[in-house]
Amino acid sequence: MKLVILDYGAGNIQSIIFAVERLGYKAVLTDNVSEILAADKVIFPGVGEASSAMTKLKSSGLDKIIPQLKQPVLGICLGMQLMCNSSEEGNTKGLGIFDIDVRRFSNSVKVPQIGWNQIEGLKTDLFLNTPNNSYIYLVHSFYASLCDETIATSDYDLKYSAALNKDNFYGVQFHPEKSSTIGSVILQNFLERIS
């Protein structure tokens, strides 16, 4: 299987590479369009700030490529948020794959949310062998609201989308690569059960 991680200068890719390697796969980090198009699976990583990440995506032309991909794509954290319509962070227009806007948590809770929370309402094969209320690791200040494309929910300040799916596009707000055993189950599902 050819697995590609999109390279657009987003930080902290190494932990995803390690997690994939622990599952016995090799990932190629690239911004090369033909290599991306030829991949069996694509991971769209991201940490940091939305508007500057979007600027980087645009300068590499990936903003045009990603929405056209036909193979399974998994956006992680900011990657997922950038696949939405827009983000309140830096008033950023997103890729518009998921039909939902990204907002900031209110100040009635500590922002960012950092740590382990639970997911429930799990749908699709991404969550095969994943019990309801499994603990996953998150670090984020912004969230996608609940919508038709929600395939997992979590609760902080309010109930929000912990994961989204539309066609071949999947997005998770949490970090499967850092979410212990259950995180690797979810990553493995993406690699082996989603086609």
Partner 1 sequence: MLTKRIIPCLDIKDGRTVKGVNFVDLRDAGDPVELAAIYAQEGADELVFLDISATEEKRKTLAELVYHVGEKVNIPFTVGGGISSVEDVDILLKNGADKVSINSSAVKRPELINELVAKFGSQCIVVAIDAKRKDNQWKVHLVGGKVPTEIDLFEWAKEVEQRGAGEILFTSMDHDGTKNGFANQALRKLSELVNIPIIASGGAGNMSHFTDTFQNGKADAALAASIFHFKEIGIKELKTELRENGIAVRL
Residues with catalytic roles: 77, 175, 177
> Would you tell me how many other CB atoms lie within 10 Å of the CB of residue 76?
25
CB of 98 to partner 1, least distance (A): 21
Instruction: Closer to partner 1 by CB, 53 or 69: give it.
Output: 53
CB of 191 to partner 1, least distance (A): 15
CB of 169 to partner 1, least distance (A): 23
Instruction: Closer to partner 1 by CB, 113 or 161: give it.
Output: 113
CB of 130 to partner 1, least distance (A): 15
Structural contact between residues 192 and 4, judged by C-beta atoms closer than 8 angstroms: no
Residue with tokens 């227009």: 93
SS3 124: coil
Q: Diameter of the chain by CA atoms?
A: 46
Residues engaged in binding partner 1 (CB under 8 A) = 11-12, 14-15, 18-19, 21-22, 47-49, 107, 110-118, 135, 137, 139-141, 155-156, 175, 177-181, 183-184
The DSSP H or E segment spanning 2 is none
Among the listed residues 74, 60, 7, 65, the one whose alpha carbon sits nearest the alpha carbon of residue 37: 65
CB of 181 to partner 1, least distance (A): 7
Instruction: Closer to partner 1 by CB, 153 or 168: give it.
Output: 153
Instruction: Closer to partner 1 by CB, 50 or 62: give it.
Output: 50
Q: How many alpha carbons fall within 13 Å on the CB side of residue 14?
A: 1
Among the listed residues 6, 7, 4, 9, the one whose alpha carbon sits nearest the alpha carbon of residue 25: 4
Q: How many alpha carbons fall within 13 Å on the CB side of residue 12?
A: 12
Structural contact between residues 119 and 156, judged by C-beta atoms closer than 8 angstroms: no
Instruction: Closer to partner 1 by CB, 91 or 107: give it.
Output: 107
